Amino acid sequence: EKGTYPHYMLKEIDEQPLVMRKIVQNYQDGEGELEIDSDIVKAMKDADRIYVIAAGTSYHAGLVGKQFIEKLAKIPVEVHISSEFGYNMPLLSEKPLFIFISQSGETADSRQVLVQVKEMGYKALTITNVPGSTLSREADYTLLLHAGPEIAVASTKAYTAQLAVLAILAEVTARGIGHEVDFDLVQELGIVATAMEALCDDKEEFESIAREYLTVTRNAFFIGRGIDFYVGLEGALKLKEISYIQAEGFAGGELKHGTIALIEEGTPVIALATQDFVNLSIRGNVKEVAARGANPCIISMSGLETDEDRFVIPEVHSLLTPLISVIPLQLISYYAALHRDCDVDKPRNLAKSVTVE
């Protein structure tokens, strides 16, 4: 039930801090240490390469999850769009493990790939929000998101839950392999939950950003480098599916290879700057688009900010910034859709779970 909330989407955005805390609790052992079923950790350790298969927002979570797994557990990861994988299968490694990420666990495109890889004799893990869902039943292993039902078509709390579960999977696998993890993930996810609360309390600010940048525009761009690029892809998907504004996410460095031609007077460019090592270069990209008339909106992280930034998110561990930086983008999309009188929870032409090919 959405209670006093006008829309499920807003309620689900607000639930994110609580979901974070629930996930940590659900994946802790008696001593408070993060724990994953030992069969799953063994399957991860045995794999020489991991293939993540997903669609839409879950695919975007997979892109970030690749960073977690490669940086912490040091296992190579490929992330594939499920609808492409079947007829465009890459050369597989000798000992692959497949990870299916799906909020609903019912996405037809992903189910088809699961059937295919099972026929080939490979092991599969499903990360889903729905216990007993088809993908969960048909895979060898399941990890649950514990996010509670997600009703709005636009996925919000499932995305951040997917990121948290992927981070936990990466950390526990890293420890299982014997790689040192030089931070305390339980503590860092606690910091994330607190930062999420602060952002959810700042709704007026995001409403005003949406009003300022997105009320009249026909298009919008999201730019970032590294992990921020992947969050930009998710920001663009969120905005287009509920507000019908044509939105695209780009890697900052790729702009000059074509997209910059689209920049006109007033084009909104939302730039994410949460990563120290690319802070100067993404700001360089902002200057390039501003010089061509764009209306830049920089969202940075505390410690990396400058006077020109429109919003500064609280500081969290550099690997976990997507869990935080996506929230302004979710809220900006929500308000943009609202200001444009769109049906926020049930956008046109879309269904919550896509059970057809």
Which residues are known catalytic residues?
352
272 part of the interface to ligand M6R, by CB under 6 A: no
Candidate residues 103, 134, 274, 279; the one interacting with ligand M6R per rule CB under 6 A:
103
Minimum CB–partner distance for residue 99 and ligand M6R (Å): 13
Q: What share of the chain is helix, strand, coil (3-state, %, to 5)?
A: 50, 15, 35
Minimum CB–partner distance for residue 155 and ligand M6R (Å): 4
Single out the residue of 146, 100, 144, 143 nearest to residue 122, CA to CA: 100
Single out the residue of 298, 100, 98, 326 nearest to residue 227, CA to CA: 326
Pick out residues in 152-211 that bind ligand M6R (CB under 6 A): 153-155
Residue appearing with tokens 């026909």: 218
Residue 172 has a CB neighbour count (10 Å cut-off) of: 24
Contact present, 157 and 150 (Cβ < 8 Å): yes
Q: Using CB atoms, what's the residue nearest to ligand M6R?
A: 56
104 part of the interface to ligand M6R, by CB under 6 A: yes
343 by Cβ neighbours in 10 Å (0-12 / 13-18 / 19+) ranks as exposed
**Phi, psi (degrees; rounded to nearest 5) at 13:** -65, -45
Minimum CB–partner distance for residue 32 and ligand M6R (Å): 30
353 part of the interface to ligand M6R, by CB under 6 A: yes
Minimum CB–partner distance for residue 238 and ligand M6R (Å): 6
Contact present, 143 and 127 (Cβ < 8 Å): yes
Site string for ligand M6R, 105-144 (x = CB under 6 A): --x--x----------------------------------
* Number of DSSP helices (H) and strands (E) in the chain, helices first: 13, 10
Stretch that binds ligand M6R, among 36-44, 149-157, 202-210, 314-322 (CB under 6 A): 149-157
Minimum CB–partner distance for residue 222 and ligand M6R (Å): 15
Stretch that binds ligand M6R, among 98-106, 172-180, 219-227, 329-337 (CB under 6 A): 98-106
Pick out residues in 41-60 that bind ligand M6R (CB under 6 A): 55-58
271 part of the interface to ligand M6R, by CB under 6 A: no
In the complex with ligand M6R, the residue whose CB is nearer, 113 or 209, is 113
In the complex with ligand M6R, the residue whose CB is nearer, 107 or 275, is 107
102 part of the interface to ligand M6R, by CB under 6 A: yes
Number of residues in contact with ligand M6R, rule: CB under 6 A? Answer: 16
Minimum CB–partner distance for residue 39 and ligand M6R (Å): 23
> Bridge partners of 74?
none
Site string for ligand M6R, 230-259 (x = CB under 6 A): -------x---x------------------
Residue positions counted in the chain: 357
Dump the DSSP string for 4-64: T-S-HHHHHHHTHHHHHHHHHHHTB-TTS-B---HHHHHHHHH-SEEEEEE-HHHHHHHHH
Single out the residue of 333, 272, 280 nearest to residue 299, CA to CA: 272
Question: Across the chain, where does the E strand assignment appear?
Answer: 49-54, 77-81, 96-102, 123-128, 141-144, 219-224, 246-251, 268-273, 295-301, 311-313
Residue appearing with tokens 């996010």: 147
Minimum CB–partner distance for residue 152 and ligand M6R (Å): 8
Binding region for ligand M6R (CB under 6 A): 55-58, 102-104, 107, 110, 153-155, 237, 241, 353-354
